[in-house]
Structure 1
Amino acid sequence: MEALRVLELYSGIGGMHQALRESQIPARVVAAIDVNTVANEVYKYNFPHTQLLPKTIEGVTIEEFDRLSFNMVLMSPPCQPFTRIGLQGDVTDPRTKSFLYFLDILPRLQKLPTYILLENVKGFEVSSTRDLLIQTIENCGFQYQEFLLSPTSLGIPNSRLRYFLIAKLQSEPLSFQAPGQVLMEFPKFESEYPQEHAVHEEQTTEEKKVELNICFDSNTQHSQKEAFLFKLETAEEIARKFQQDSDLSVQMLKDFLEDDIDMNQYFLPPESLLRYALLLDIVKPTCRRSTCFTKGYGRYIEGTGSVLQTSEDVQIESIYKSLTGLSQEEKITKLLMLKLRYFTPKEIANLLGFPPEFGFPEKIGVKQRYRLLGNSLNVHVVAKLIKILCGKL
């Protein structure tokens, strides 16, 4: 096929661009547009030859869009107007303005793009903004399909449930199209391996409220009755997590961890251990799951992502059971035995599917890296959707 001319909107650190590369679809990103100056530095560091426009979407005129002559649009509009922990301002949120501007521009372009791929948070699928998007692309003649997908469906031990829409300008329905449905798994094709499995709703930890968990070592048999229940954690949740860790189609976390680096800066400080001991989502390298990493990781504890127990020979149940009645100093001493640390930015990038050569400029600090990665997407999931959209699966 002739190389596609791709427009990347809300380009961030380049997750869409990276997915396009991974898909191996002949393509060139003719322009990337983002207003975030720090994200743009990371983008330029990794894609130095791509035209990057540091401006708002609404700062681009229809004439400028036409001159780019693109036939594919990849975009991940701001998710804050639709996230469950936000105000859910939807179309009234100022951060939606740029996307509404693009929807207004789209039908008036000299030449419509052939392909569109959009990513956002779960919650977007029930928004008024989504309804306007669907109305716009239907009026333009696109066939489309919506998905809610998590990387666990590709064997990646990280729950990151996200909304996706793929659309193609054609009169015939897509071969896998399910009108009115939001699919919870990738469509199946004869060329694919049978061992690929669907997204299981019980595996999407984002769907749960902030939960406290324990990872059972895959070599240890624990029954539901034997499990020690943490505050806010039910026996049902523990059983579900144990089931996740028993799913051999998902890789272990240790395959994504860094070796031979100084971990001292990543260990949780004593005051955090004491204050948030019962709110930590703790996993071991042998686990096959981790919760969604958000932009607040490294700054906040509650609900921002899993922490890693690096002292694997210490039984977490015995540590927690022994805390009752201890002084604060004694509790800290016990908790420090677990050697709990944050995942490094590189490890999170690995879980998100960024390749080994992907990096950050040295001046970008650790907390800035966490923030940028928390706003990014899973490269492998998007790469597969691009191949499906272009008929290469």
Structure 2
Amino acid sequence: MERCLRVLELYSGIGGMHHALRESRIDAEVVAAVDVNTIANEVYKHNFPTTPLWPKTIEGITLQELNRLDFDMILMSPPCQPFTRIGLQGDVADPRAKSFLYVLDILPRLERLPKYILLENVKGFEDSSARNVFLQTLEKCGFQYQEFLLSPTCLGIPNSRLRYFLIAKLLPEPFSFQTSSQILTEFPNPEGMCLQERSVPMNLDKDWPFVPAEETKMTSKPSRQYSEQGPFLFKLETPEDAERKKTQNNDISIQMLQVFLEDGAEDLSQYFLPPKSLLRYALLLDIVKPTSRRSTCFTKGYGHYVEGTGSVLQSAEDVEMESVFKLLETLSEEEKLKRLSTLQLRYFTPREIAKLHGFPQEFSFPDKTTVKQRYRLLGNSLNVHIVAKLITALLI
């Protein structure tokens, strides 16, 4: 009988990889989870109380300690700041990349190489020097691998969160599908071809409409005028933005947001946008309804910063958004606020974002974790369903 798969979870955060491992239904045990973030570790321990959790830096783990773990798989999501498009893109020169480089340095020196590796990071990692060093290390150690750029929309989830993934398997054990030197934008299947689970092809531009405000470079001037070719643009967006959102909301292969919303079990009053935010950011908000089939990427600044951190929900579904925004700038602040308030705009709750990210119903935060902390932790997390499918593809 084969032994239970022994898994090392690096940069474990709030346990997204661990939840994905459970969802994959693979007979596996996390023999150690490692993270330096104190608050994330509290959440992890709250959900996985029996898993050995090492609250230390990756560089603080010795080769001897790793050899004693005798693990078969590494799951990891290294810090994304060195590679994100809104950061300084310091790449391998960024101090936050040091721990990942340490992993790559120590991997070839292990007494026994793991059979499987899965890595998640932001879009942009695929163009980094760190990625090149990673691939060179994998090839040196005798791994074959496949890279992906995937968004939750490819699973019918109404949230754009395009991320880089890599799965690697130690030779000579083969993959169950034909690998490619290209970065795939679809999930693989055992027949050898890469097929989308949706009924329509995935388009990266369509599935990644959101670019944080700090890095947006307008190619056409935003407008709020009537157009014979397109809809009335009531916010600061381009005609292309408006048309893309309309197309997304008409895509019936994507679930409606209402599937992921709270059922009234939580007091939602604390999540409504304050008057100051309504007045200052009204024209910049990405507003969705429960019947919408899209939402933008939720970042760690969600709930604290308004612009470019994620969609907000229009609770008053029967109110016409166009009528609210029409000639809005001509009104006094009092009239403007009165009209905007009819939309009943609120932030998505941490529980709702966790559901969009694929965390199971039993996932929870310790009571002492603040709402702001929950948003930050979720913004740094990953989509559980995507990782679960990639684990399955890696092991079958």
- The TM-score with structure 1 as length reference comes to 0.93
Deviates most, 258-267 or 149-158: 258-267
Letter in 2 for 1:202: D
> In the aligned structure 2, how far is the partner of 1:82 from the partner of 1:196?
32
Indicate the residue corresponding to 2:285 in structure 1: 280
Q: Are residue 18 (structure 1) and residue 6 (structure 2) matched?
A: no
Indicate the residue corresponding to 2:231 in structure 1: 227
Indicate the residue corresponding to 1:218 in structure 2: none
Alignment map for 1:78-157 (pairs within 5 Å): 78-157=79-158
What CA RMSD, in Å, does the superposition of the two structures yield over aligned residues? 2.1
Identity %: 69
Indicate the residue corresponding to 1:332 in structure 2: 337
Letter in 1 for 2:260: F
Indicate the residue corresponding to 1:304 in structure 2: 309
Indicate the residue corresponding to 2:76 in structure 1: 75
Say if 1:226 and 1:100 are closer, same or farther in 2 by CA, change over 3 A. Answer: closer
Out of 253, 259, 262, the residue aligned to residue 257 of structure 2 is: 253
After TM superposition, give the deviation of residue 241 of structure 1 in Å: 1.1
The one-character-per-residue Cα deviations of 1:362-381 (angstroms, maximum 9, x if unpaired) are 00000000000000000000
After TM superposition, give the deviation of residue 230 of structure 1 in Å: 3.8
After TM superposition, give the deviation of residue 225 of structure 1 in Å: 3.7
The secondary structure found in structure 2 opposite 1:182 is coil
Q: Are residue 205 (structure 1) and residue 204 (structure 2) matched?
A: no
Deviates most, 330-339 or 174-183: 174-183
The one-character-per-residue Cα deviations of 1:225-260 (angstroms, maximum 9, x if unpaired) are 451114541222211111111111111000000011
After TM superposition, give the deviation of residue 206 of structure 1 in Å: 4.8
> In the aligned structure 2, how far is the partner of 1:258 from the partner of 1:246?
23
Stretches of structure 1 lacking an aligned partner (at least 5 in a row) = 213-222
Out of 275, 291, 296, the residue aligned to residue 291 of structure 1 is: 296
Indicate the residue corresponding to 2:188 in structure 1: 187
Say if 1:286 and 1:153 are closer, same or farther in 2 by CA, change over 3 A. Answer: same
The secondary structure found in structure 1 opposite 2:138 is helix
Q: Is the 8 A contact 2:33 2:54 kept in 1?
A: yes
The secondary structure found in structure 1 opposite 2:85 is coil
The secondary structure found in structure 2 opposite 1:324 is helix
Say if 1:197 and 1:62 are closer, same or farther in 2 by CA, change over 3 A. Answer: farther
Q: Is the 8 A contact 1:6 1:71 kept in 2?
A: yes
Out of 360, 375, 384, the residue aligned to residue 380 of structure 2 is: 375
Deviates most, 263-272 or 186-195: 186-195
Say if 1:194 and 1:92 are closer, same or farther in 2 by CA, change over 3 A. Answer: closer
The one-character-per-residue Cα deviations of 1:346-374 (angstroms, maximum 9, x if unpaired) are 00000000011100000000000000000
Indicate the residue corresponding to 1:239 in structure 2: 243
Q: Are residue 37 (structure 1) and residue 38 (structure 2) matched?
A: yes
After TM superposition, give the deviation of residue 208 of structure 1 in Å: 4.2
The one-character-per-residue Cα deviations of 1:131-175 (angstroms, maximum 9, x if unpaired) are 000000000000000000000000100000000000000136635
Stretches of structure 2 lacking an aligned partner (at least 5 in a row) = 217-226
Letter in 1 for 2:254: V
Q: Is the 8 A contact 1:224 1:235 kept in 2?
A: no
> In the aligned structure 2, how far is the partner of 1:383 from the partner of 1:17?
9
The secondary structure found in structure 2 opposite 1:348 is helix
Q: Is the 8 A contact 2:121 2:163 kept in 1?
A: yes
After TM superposition, give the deviation of residue 200 of structure 1 in Å: 1.9
> In the aligned structure 1, how far is the partner of 2:207 from the partner of 2:254?
14
The secondary structure found in structure 2 opposite 1:158 is coil
Q: Is the 8 A contact 2:6 2:73 kept in 1?
A: yes
Q: Is the 8 A contact 2:210 2:296 kept in 1?
A: no
